[in-house]
Chain A
Amino acid sequence: MELTLAHYLILSAVIFALGMTGVLIRKNLIVMFMSLELMLNAVNINLAAFSNYLQDMTGQIFIVFVMAVAAAEAAVGLALIISLFRNKQTINAEELNIMRG
């Protein structure tokens, strides 16, 4: 069996759906963050597949940008989670509820 564009698209759709569900239903901030990375990786698979299909380099260049931005985002995001943990001793998303109304 030969791998076609559709296979890659289905794979990335599955990974994206997993990541999205993870962000929406999991309660642990670190796990939610990992799910976000999963979403971005699904994006990268899509870009690489399309780039190969179209024989066009733009998609692969874009992957580098996505990865660089994801790294910067990880640095800031983890720092924010740590500063939250210092004050609250928890990283459970359900307990982030001091603001109401």
Chain B
Amino acid sequence: MTPQLFNDIITVYPEILMTIFALVLIVIDVVAGDKMKASVGYFGIAFVALVALLSPAGPFIGFNNMLIWDNFSYVFFLIFAMAYTLTTLGSIDYLRDKNMLKGEIYIVMFFSLIGMMFMVSANDLTIFYVGLETMAISMYVLAGFNKHCLKSNEAGVKYFLMGAFSSGLFLYGLTFIYGLTGSLTYTDIAAAIQGNTGSLGIKFGLLLMLVGFAFKISAVPFHMWAPDVYTGSPTPIAGFMTVAPKAAAFGALIRFTWVAIAPASEQWTLFFTILAVLTMTYGNLVALAQDNVKRMLAYSAIAHAGYMLIGLVTMTPEGFRAITIYMLIYSFMNIGAFTIIGLLKNKGMIDDERIESFAGLSKKNPLASLAMLLFMFSLAGIPPLAGFVGKFYIFIAAIKAEIYWLAIVGVLNSALACYYYMRVTIFMYFKEPEYETELTLKAPSFVATFIAAVLVVLVGFFPSFFVNLVSSLTV
């Protein structure tokens, strides 16, 4: 084996492992009996953990600079692995209850993970595009997974149409970049636009590509698909969709802006600033008016993308590191909240996720409502919980880059957001229930909620340990 080939294989080794494990999962699904389908999910978790342990450290660049495996890819893989683990554990009871516990859901989710890994590790637009579509197509399937439920059908179709539309825009922009720079590799693109930042064609191409990215991270004004898709999808899957694909898109966007358009980054800070301000403000304002908690969290997911965009506006390594930390924290607190929402059922004909369903939950199930309280406080960014740590580093990055007003807009927005998060806790602890609801934490969902809640508290109280861990990996 030549050293070159060896290097190439090492670079793609985690993805290869994941692909093999995904195929093994299909076999396990066939072997497992109808009552045993949850085992596919458990095996999936074991495989993800195994890949996390077996991944090589240190930067490897292979396939003619097309693919990179470095600490940045590894941290984002950890985010995806965390999202997969918590979603799998949290979804088993929900899916069994709705009579749709099938092995496919865990397999498709596993395949989407492979796509996300390629997105973040890509140093070439070809690989990025194929990874993006691997992820996106899996996501369309997951959104429409409950095929007997009209909402889920609608979510799937809407996600599919808007997703394909945004990749169309992205690709059309990509063709101009290819035509004017003569390459699809990030480093070559950067070299080609170095002395050519004024070119109108390149600006046009980059604009379309960044709009494509903005669709994927559901930034306002390209967010119109997000609330409907998150509301319609099966609840644990919606939790997964607000975290993992968004993390992948952010990871890829960071690598793209940091490497490929670094010479022209000055031109695009305004674009990202507008996106950040609009996304935060719109997401929070509309979330205030929601009576459906799932839909409220969908809008809050849009708002959180806005906070993360602040990190991108700074265009500094601190900002990018802050995004990574925020994304990791966001992954467990949001999935935890979605797990609880998925488990809450009422016996009437009204939607399960209405805010009134949470009334009096603290008396019926104190543990679950305590966990929900922690997630809501953490999402609101109240110290000393994990969400505060994430927001803190984002705003510090903005202040270090001397964009004070953006940090202020962000702080004001998080103050605004407190209202709707607190509303849920007020309903849980101080309101009398109007109709009967029930919430039972069975073993798998208990473990998922427990892990998420413990992480929220631990990261909140010992942020330096956690942040040092992440920064030692990302630099």
Residues of A participating in the B interface, judged by any CB pair closer than 8 Å: 12, 16, 19-20, 23, 29, 32-33, 36, 39-40, 42-43, 46-47, 49-50, 53-54, 56, 58-59, 61-62, 65-66, 69, 72-73, 76-77, 80-81, 83-84, 86-88, 93, 96, 98-99, 101
Q: Are B153 and A80 in contact (CB under 8 A)?
A: yes
- Which of B163-171, B265-273, B408-416 lies at the binding interface? B163-171
> Which residues does B use to contact A, with CB under 8 Å?
126, 129-130, 133, 137, 140-141, 144, 147-151, 153-154, 156-158, 160-161, 164-165, 168, 171-172, 174-176, 178-179, 182-184, 227-228, 231-232, 289-292, 295
Tell me if B144 and A99 are in contact (CB < 8 A): no
- Contact between B133 and A72, CB atoms less than 8 A apart: yes
Expressed in whole angstroms, the minimum distance between the Cβ of A87 and any Cβ of chain B is: 5
- Report B-chain residues with C-beta under 8 Å of the C-beta of A58: 126, 178, 183-184
Q: Which of A39, A76, A83, A99 contacts B147 (CB 8 A)?
A: A83
Bound CA span A60–B290, Å? 48
Would you call B153 and A84 a contact (CB within 8 A)? yes
Judge whether B130 and A50 touch: CB under 8 Å: no
The reply to whether A46 and B232 form a contact with Cβ atoms under 8 Å apart is no
Q: Which residues of B contact A23 (CB under 8 A)?
A: 161, 165
Main secondary structure of the interface of B (DSSP, over half): helix
> Does B158 contact A96, Cβ atoms closer than 8 Å?
yes
Interface of A: prevailing SS: helix
With contacts A36-B165, A77-B160, A88-B153 taken as known, whether A42 is within 8 angstroms of B172 at the C-beta atoms is yes
- CA gap between A6 and B289 in the complex, in Å: 50
Q: How far is the CB of A28 from chain B (nearest CB, A)?
A: 12
Establish whether residues B164 and A77, one from each chain, have CB atoms under 8 Å apart when the complex forms: yes
CA of A56 to CA of B178, assembled, Å:
10
B99 → chain A, closest Cβ, in Å?
16
- What residue of chain A has the Cβ atom nearest to residue B180's Cβ? A50
